[in-house]
Amino acid sequence: MSKYPIILKTSFFLTFLSAISLSFGQKSIDTVALSDLQRHLSVIASDAMEGRETGTPGIEKAAVYLETEFKRLGLSPGNGKKYRQEYRTPEENLKACNIVAQIEGSIFPNEYVVVSAHYDHLGVYNGVIYNGADDDGSGTAALLAMAEALMRLKKLGKGPQRSVVFIAFSGEEKGLWGSSYFSDHPTIPLEKVSCDINIDMIGRIDPDRRTADTNHYVFIVGQSRLSSETQRILRALNDNTQRLTLDEKFDHKKDPNRIYYRSDHYNFAKKGVPVVFFYDGMLGGDYHEPTDDIELIDWEVYHKRTNFILDFTMSLANRETLLKRDLAE
Ligand SMILES: [Zn+2]
């Protein structure tokens, strides 16, 4: 997740320096393999990726990994013949890219559910690599594991009825650059997007939550805005599947952390596309620290959250209509 609630022009390094700061339900689809999450995250959050800072050779390795995996799984390139959507960064005019891959819907191929996560992080500072295992290696690995699960379902004839578009954004940590570019140059018509389901940090348990009666929680944000249907669908689905504690406090319009404005979903919401943001609530502790490493991931909760996001993706892909756009922001 970005430190920036809105797109700022401030020098990255200046702000960087100053801000250091279950049980499975019977009806769940439950097809994300834990081993897939582990395999992908161990690559994405490895030192070899050099912290994945936008515009560096490290993030290029991550981009190649994403392209290779989407191709291996059989997803279609989402930008014409390419998985890459290239753009130049606003500040240093460096080359950067989003990675877009899609699975064609069986009944409504020209309607879409977007699942997004950012694959960039903070890079290397003073010789220390910031691996960003939770932020947002967890979301990036979830995209790949979900894509693999959906392709398995598709081969069984149970694939999504609407097209599902996976987007790995770059430039998020710098100020939501990749999603800003995408929302101005979309590869699919935004009016045909039911929802952007954005995942940014879902692999950890916030230490503040450890005193609660369950660690099986996830924060959801955006569900009460733009569409009157989203919140009801999420709650009912959760009751019938993963039974997570859905914590909605960051969705409050007066949330002082302004989480709604701080990750890539906001660039979809700005264009009127309903959004739901999934998040583990980490703001202190290892957030934006070099200690955000794979060893601190809680695999059981991460797996459960990813399965819930897959269930939600399928429920939007398979319902009769796109989400209504009947609320103001
Ligand atoms: Zn971040």
- Domain annotation covers residue 325: no
- Beta 193-199 vs 275-279: how paired, if at all? parallel
- Domain annotation covers residue 59: yes
Lowest mean pLDDT among 15-29, 139-153, 256-270: 15-29
Q: How far is the CA of 226 from the centre of ligand 1 (A)?
A: 25
Task: Return the CATH number at 55.
Answer: 3.40.630.10
Q: How far is the CA of 289 from the centre of ligand 1 (A)?
A: 10
- Domain annotation covers residue 19: no
The share of the chain scoring above pLDDT 70, in percent, equals 91
- The pLDDT, as a whole number, for residue 155 is 93
- Domain annotation covers residue 17: no
Q: How far is the CA of 121 from the centre of ligand 1 (A)?
A: 6
- Domain annotation covers residue 14: no
- Domain annotation covers residue 11: no
- Domain annotation covers residue 10: no
Q: How far is the CA of 39 from the centre of ligand 1 (A)?
A: 22
Q: How far is the CA of 139 from the centre of ligand 1 (A)?
A: 11
Q: How far is the CA of 1 from the centre of ligand 1 (A)?
A: 3
Q: Which residues surround ligand 1, an ion (CB under 5 A)?
A: 1, 135, 173
| 78-118: pLDDT as tens digits | 999 999 999 999 888 999 999 999 999 999 999 999 999 99
- Domain annotation covers residue 1: no
| 270-311: pLDDT as tens digits | 999 999 999 999 987 789 999 999 999 999 999 999 999 999
Q: How far is the CA of 250 from the centre of ligand 1 (A)?
A: 17
| 160-169: pLDDT as tens digits | 999 999 999 9
pLDDT band at 5 (very low <50, low <70, confident <90, very high): low
Q: Are 284 and 228 in contact (CB under 8 A)?
A: no
Task: Kindly write down the DSSP assignment for every residue of 31-46, as one continuous string.
Answer: ---HHHHHHHHHHHTS
Q: How far is the CA of 238 from the centre of ligand 1 (A)?
A: 27
307/301 Cα distance (integer angstroms):
10
Residue 28 has pLDDT above 50, yes or no: no
Number of domains, the chain: 1
Crossing angle (nearest 10°) for helices 34-44 and 57-73? 150
Q: Are 250 and 221 in contact (CB under 8 A)?
A: yes
Q: Which domain holds residue 73?
A: 25-318
| 178-208: pLDDT as tens digits | 999 999 999 999 999 999 999 999 999 988 7
